[in-house]
Amino acid sequence: MANYNLESSEGRVEALRRMLLIRAFDEEAGDRFADGEIPGFVHLYIGEEAVGVGTCAALDPDDYIASTHRGHGHCIAKGLDPKYMMAELYGKAEGYCNGKGGSMHIADVDAGMLGANGIVGAGPPLATGAALSIDYDDRDQIAVSFLGDGAVAQGQVHEAMNLAATWDLPVVFVVENNQYGEGTPVEDQHNVDNLSDTAQAYDIPGLTVDGMDVTAVAEAVDEARSRARNGNGPTLVEAETYRYRGHYEGDEEPYRDEAEIERWKDRDPIDSFTERLIDRDELTEAEFEELQTEVEAKIQDAVDYAQDATPPEPHEAYDDMFGEIPPEIERFATAARTDGGTPGGDR
Amino acid sequence: MTAQVERELETETEELTVREAIRQALREELERDEDVFLIGEDIGEFGGVLEVTGDLYEEFGDERIKDTPISEAGFTGAATGAAATGTRPVVELMFSDFSGVAMEQIMNQMAKMRYMFGGKAEMPVTVRTTEGGGMGAASQHSGTVHTWMAHFPGLKAVAPGTAAAAKGLTKAAIRSNDPVFVFENKMIYEQTGQVPTDEDYTAPIGEAAIEREGDDVTVVATQRLVGESLQTAESIADEFGLEVEVIDPRSLYPLDTETIVESVRKTGRLIVADESPLSYGTHAEIVARVQEEAFFSLDAPIQRVGTPDTHMPFSPPLENEVLPDGDDVRAAIERIS
């Protein structure tokens, strides 16, 4: 998918389209999860769209991103196809991971998306590793690690930042501060005023931007990207944002009240950006309606596709463990291919 | 004798220590493939705390021999991310006990990425690390943890007992597109053996080597206990006229069940000698596979030789007490012969 940036009017409309797509995708995913069509856990990105889209707007298509458990927005911002995403959430063979990953592990390495991640704080070392490959091969790319505010308390995050800073690796750490690490407020988890203050420990630039403003995020990441590509090492960008839904779907949210949520919704990243584009005559009301209709149709297509897609065959559970499959697994695969599979490991 | 061992013996060899054999493997693979680089603590100018990387830094420089901060989770995770994005890192975890620090990246990222992503990520990463007691390094520098990695789905684990296996397995690990742990026993770095000189020699992952043929008892021994079992086998032959077959599985996962089972069908007796703790481990896995495939060939209860579920104590008399050796293998043979 073509790259987009916020310097042109087309790019700004594309950014809006992606934010709308993320919101529509996640609203639909929430509904389908509630209906029992999507198994497992689902963490929705609604409210945080400007961070993923603003970040990816500053990237080239072949740059890498490492994502979090709340990864749908990063996927769409990076250009992944909602059809195969939804198929993955439905656990279907046509999904990005053939149904082996689901929402929490959705990935498309060829598209530079190194995976959503069920382990809080695991992405920064992986993105640092992608940056190491880039640096080793002298490639003209960068890697971005998204991480939540909660992840900033994890040891491996700091190991990655120290390594990346010490080696001047081309990586950008984008902290999505959505105010809560699961159910605990950010101020109860960290001793710094701004999470970007932690950058000082590694002598790298750290800044806090308005994560409800796609332009502010894009500008910060764009500068960080230039710095990384010029061999000047990593940057930590903290984006202050808010998730409208619970930590996961089904979260009863005893830790916050409706008034707080409404206050943040007043600063909605999609509404404010839409208004700005309309005010600047870059978009008409009619065009916006059209955009919304197009996005809703695309998500409906994705759901239709996912519902009609093929459930994986039981024997596929034995595929993809290794490049070279060992006899220990092969014997189960062979048996399952022959008899269609039996639940459990009772062969 | 397996076909592989026969092939190995047909080739030209030279005498090397285990340490030299590993270093030669690293050098050859660094020369062969520009995507390969080494990453770890003090492996550069310092030469490695147990001197395995030695002078490679002088030859290949800091681009390819990368000294890291003391940061096992960080650099193991970075190696994982690098492997998924086009390079072939070879990690040195200075002591296998330190793998605990890096375990999150090992078990949840390195081992799972290919599978979780439906096969759409390659993971050509090698992790070399040293195991074992015997030098008074105490509990946090003497562990034998290979059972963890052999147990954990998505990882391959090899553990050479000879110089030839050390070179061949290290090369096979680096060439593999799967994550492979190479467990080096620190007490056998100075042990010498004949090693094939052919630069394309590898020891295929999943193939055992029969190091000594015999008809009476099978000893499956790993790492340091391969050499000790071979010595024990010689003295048992002299004293009792019993011929002990010694098999080095070389690869713990995948495991060459067939070679072990064939041997037990012939001998009817099995000793499993491995330095890992006895409970719930490598021994148990080998025993389980043998009883599945060769239960009715067994003439005596299978015996296990290992560390009796303690950590490695510091003081030499204590360490000697718990560290399994050739005498323990001998006692096990005597119990069932």
Residue B288 inside a domain? The answer is yes
Q: Quick one: B38 and B122 in the same domain? A: yes
Tell me whether residue A3 is in a domain. no
Domain-located, residue A1: no
Domain count of the fold of chain B: 2
Distance, CA of A122 to CA of A156 (rounded, Å): 7
Would residue B72 show up in a list of annotated catalytic residues for this protein? Answer: yes
Same domain as A261, residue A326: no
CA distances (Å), origin A319, targets A98, A187, A246: 10, 44, 34
Query: Residue B73 and residue A64: Cβ atoms within 8 Å?
Result: no
**pLDDT tens digit string along A126-166?**
999 999 999 999 999 999 999 999 999 999 999 999 999 99
How many domains, in total, are found in chain A? 2
User: Residue B32 sits in which domain range?
Assistant: 3-196
> What's residue A339's pLDDT?
86
Instruction: List, as ranges, residues 316-345 from A with C-beta within 8 Å of B.
Output: 319-324, 326-328
Q: In terms of domains, do A47 and A34 share one?
A: yes
Nearest CA in chain A to B79: A129
B138 plus B83 within the same structural domain: yes
In a domain, B202, yes or no: no
Locate B165 and state its tokens. 């296996």
**In one letter, which amino acid is B187?**
M
Query: Average pLDDT in the A213-223 region?
Result: 98
A147 C-beta neighbours (distance < 10 Å), count: 27
Which of A322, A328, A346 best probes binding to B when mutated, by most B CB atoms within 10 angstroms?
A: A322
Q: Are residues A346 and A228 in the same domain?
A: no
pLDDT band of residue A1 (cuts 50, 70, 90) is: very low
Question: Does residue A219 sit in the same domain as residue A301?
Answer: yes
Phi/psi-derived region of residue A255, left when phi > 0, alpha when psi is between -120 and 50, beta in every other case: alpha
Question: A2: pLDDT confidence band, cut at 50, 70 and 90?
Answer: very low
User: Nearest-CA neighbor of A76 among A298, A275, A224?
Assistant: A298
Residues B174 and B39 in one domain: yes
Whether residues A198 and A143 share a domain: the answer is: yes
For residue A133, which residues of chain B lie inside 8 Å, CB to CB? 81-82, 85-87
Average pLDDT, chain A: 96
Return the CATH number at B108.
3.40.50.970
In a shared domain, residues A308 and A336: no
Instruction: Answer whether residue B203 is part of any domain.
Output: no
A49-64 per-position pLDDT tens digit = 999 999 999 999 999 9
Contact A128 B74 (CB under 8 A): yes
State pLDDT tens for residues B98-157.
999 999 999 999 999 999 999 999 999 999 999 999 999 999 999 999 999 999 999 999
User: Which pLDDT score, from 0 to 100, does residue A342 have?
Assistant: 73
A211 and A99 in a single domain? The answer is yes
Q: Using 70 as the pLDDT threshold, list the residues of chain B that sit under it.
A: 1-10
Question: Which of B196, B219, B238 corresponds to the end of one domain?
Answer: B196
Tell me the sheet residues that pair with B63: none
**Cα–Cα distances in angstroms (integers) from residue B36 to residues B2, B78, B170, B200, B289, in the given order:** 30, 14, 13, 16, 36
Q: Same domain for B170 and B23? A: yes
CB contact under 8 A, A137 and B86: yes
CB spacing of B81 vs A100 below 8 angstroms: no
pLDDT of residue B8: 55
Give the closest residue to B298 by CA, choosing from B329, B327, B331, B260: B260
Q: What is the Cα–Cα distance from B310 to B89, expressed in whole angstroms?
A: 34
Structure-block tokens of residue B203: 């020891």
The 10s digit of each residue's pLDDT in A178-193 is 999 999 999 999 999 9
Domain that holds residue A26: 9-312
**pLDDT category, A315, cuts 50, 70, 90?**
very high
Host H or E run for residue A14: helix A9-34
Cα–Cα distance for residue pair A94/A88, rounded to 1 Å: 7
Is a pLDDT exceeding 80 seen at residue A15?
A: yes
What is the CATH number for A96? 3.40.50.970
Tell me, yes or no, whether A215 and A320 share the same domain. no
pLDDT at res. A341: 79
pLDDT digits (tens, 9 = 90+) for B294-310: 999 999 999 999 999 99
A323 shares a domain with A271: no
Question: Quick one: A186 and A110 in the same domain?
Answer: yes
Report the distance separating Cα B205 and Cα B290, nearest Å.
Answer: 20
